[in-house]
Every structure is written in structure tokens, then in C-alpha cells.
Structure 1
Amino acid sequence: MQPKGQTSKEYFKALSIIHAVLLVGQLLFMGALLLSNDNQETENSDNLFLFIAPALAFGGVLGGIFLERTRVNSIKKKKDLKEKVNSYQTTLIMKFALLEGPSLFALVCYSLTADYTFLALSGLLILILLANRPTRDKMIKDLELNREERSLIENPQAIIAEVKINR
């Protein structure tokens, strides 16, 4: 695997695509469940799910906030911009996964119980994920980048990261 420079434009495009794919996947799954007509409400099987799904959602949101804060604090201490942006990308993907997992679980609970509470819970998690859309300004603010680093991030043609490619 050879490292290849990634411009600011390419970096944020890739990060935006990852974010969008996670959102669209959940929305498609939700749409498929809503279109299926075989969801019949069950009487008692959803009681346990009514505790587990919100607990997972709460844990995912809090876990994502905690993970982002702790990792961003350690990323700020790095000197190399390429290390910062690669670590930041990893952090965001992990945060997104902590939101997506409970959302998908809530959708599975909905498919098993036909209880719209789970659909609403998944919708809330999807909205939180949507609100966490990655942007240049958010990265600059989160990582408290200096003037030189900020100018590189804002320049679409500047090489700010490296990706490994197979040749």
C-alpha cells in the first residue's frame, strides 16, 4: 500500500459521503419497514425492548459525546496536521457508529413489535446524526487549529491528509 496525498476538498467529500451513506442506509431500512405490511403488533414481547432500545440510544449519544471530547482533546496536542485530520476522521466515524447502532436496533425492535415508539427513537437518532454533519468550520473549531492549519483546511487544493492505496 502506497500513501497518496488527499486534498482538503477530497477529504471533506469522502467524510461527507461516509456520513450520507450512514444516513441513507438507515432511512432506506426505515422506509422498507414502513412499506412492509406484515408488521403486526405483539402483546408482551416489546416490554423488554422498551427498556433496552432507549438505554442503547442514550448510551450511544453519551458515548459519542464522551468519545469525541476525549479523542479531540488528544488530537489537539498533535503537531502534524495530517495526523490530526486522520485521527479526527476516525473519531467522527466512531461517533457516527455509536449513533447508527442503536438506531438500527430500534428499527429491528419496530419490525418485531410494530410499536411506533421505536420508529420515533430511530428517527431521533437519525436527526442527531444529521446534526453532526462534518464540515470544515466544525473541524477548525473542534481542533482549535492555528492560522496556518486553518488556511490549509480552507484551501480545497491543499494536501491535508494521506490515504493508503493498493497498486
Structure 2
Amino acid sequence: MISKQPQNQSPAAIVKTLNIIHMALAAGQILFAAVTFIIPKSQEKGAANDMLIYIAPVLAITCFIAGHFLFLKLLSNIRRDSPLKAKLIAYQSATIIRLALLEGPSLFSIIGFLLTGKLIFMAIAGALVAYFIYVRPSRQKIEDDLSLGYEEKAELDGTDKVY
């Protein structure tokens, strides 16, 4: 896989980029949910609308579990002796995959609410967005997930010179 990540980007900039990506994805879901709440809903009954009530929770649970285990699998593939930038780029990829697997069912549930007007869809989306916000990549979570040593933590903070 070819990485198009700029090679001169500092570790702190990679973390900042990851936080911006997370914030943008979360804001998109929240704004979309708010807009669909305002739009009048159709109360049409149909086989497709009836199936949505079963598909949305199954999709949410499946993607939640898959995202969690895939994230852990991708983290376990990161070599401990890799340079910090390589670790952070791999962590960024794993996090984006995890976030995408949470965002998809959330948007599906919001669309289900838009089509049916049933609040159960908004509850599913709300739970997914809440978890989405909970897994926000903070510097502390990154340090813990990657099991960074003292020197790598200093480099991540931008104080890579140890006196």
C-alpha cells in the first residue's frame, strides 16, 4: 500500500490531522442528523421501510464489532521497533477504518429515520455517534494504544531532545 502522507510531517502534526479528521466526521454525522430532524418525514408503509428496522441494528452491531476487532488487529501489526512516524501513520489508518465502520451505520440509521420518521433509527445513530466521540484519538490514547516509550512520547510532544 502506497502512503501519500507527507514524509516531512511531524508526529504532532499527524496527531493534529487525525483529530481534525475525527472532528469533521463527527460534525458531519451530527449536522446530517439535525437536518433530517427538521425535514418533514413521510409516513409511508412499505416492505423496504419495514426491513430497515431490522437492518439498521444488525448493521450497527456488526460494524461496531468489526471496527473494534479490525482496529485491534491493525494495531497488533505495528512493529514495536518501527520509527514513531511509521507507527503514527499506521495508527492513523487503523483509526480512519474504525471511524468509517462506525460512521456508515450511523448515516444508514439517520437515513432510516428520514424515510420512516421512527425515532428508533435516531437512537441507534445517537448511540453510534456517542461511541464515535468516545473513541476520539487523544494524545494519551495514542500513547497507550501504541505503548510508546519515554523517548517516543517526548518526540510526540515535540520535545525530542532529552537533556
TM range (shorter): 0.7 to 0.9
Q: Is 1:55 aligned with 2:34?
A: no
> Counterpart in 2 of 1:161?
none
> Counterpart in 2 of 1:162?
none
> Counterpart in 2 of 1:104?
107
Name the SS for the 2:8 alignment partner.
strand
> Counterpart in 1 of 2:121?
118
- Counterparts in 2 of 1:6-25, with a 5 A limit? 6-25=9-28
Give how far 1:77 is off.
3.7
CA gap of 1:150–1:2, structure 2 versus 1, over 3 A, is closer
CA gap of 1:28–1:81, structure 2 versus 1, over 3 A, is same
Identity percentage of aligned residues:
33
> Counterpart in 2 of 1:131?
134
Preserved contact between residue 76 and residue 144 of structure 1 (Cα < 8 Å): no
Query: TM-score, normalising length from structure 1?
Result: 0.86
Preserved contact between residue 76 and residue 143 of structure 1 (Cα < 8 Å): no
Preserved contact between residue 11 and residue 88 of structure 2 (Cα < 8 Å): no
* Structure holding more strand per residue: 1
CA gap of 1:2–1:148, structure 2 versus 1, over 3 A, is closer
Measured in 2, the distance between the counterparts of 1:3 and 1:116 equals 43
Measured in 2, the distance between the counterparts of 1:135 and 1:49 equals 35
Preserved contact between residue 41 and residue 115 of structure 1 (Cα < 8 Å): no
- 1:83-138: CA deviations, max 9, x gaps? 11100000000100000000001111111111110011111100010001111110
Measured in 2, the distance between the counterparts of 1:142 and 1:4 equals 22
- The amino acid of 1:69's aligned partner reads L
| Alignment: residue pair count | 156
CA root-mean-square deviation: 1.8
Measured in 2, the distance between the counterparts of 1:2 and 1:152 equals 18
Query: TM-score, normalising length from structure 2?
Result: 0.88
Between 78-87 and 117-126, report the one with greater CA deviation. 78-87
Q: Kindly indicate whether structure 1 or structure 2 has the higher relative contact order, using CA contacts under 8 Å at least 6 residues apart.
A: 1
Give how far 1:47 is off.
2.2
Name the SS for the 1:145 alignment partner.
coil
Structure 1: gaps (5+ residues) = 159-167
CA gap of 1:108–1:3, structure 2 versus 1, over 3 A, is closer
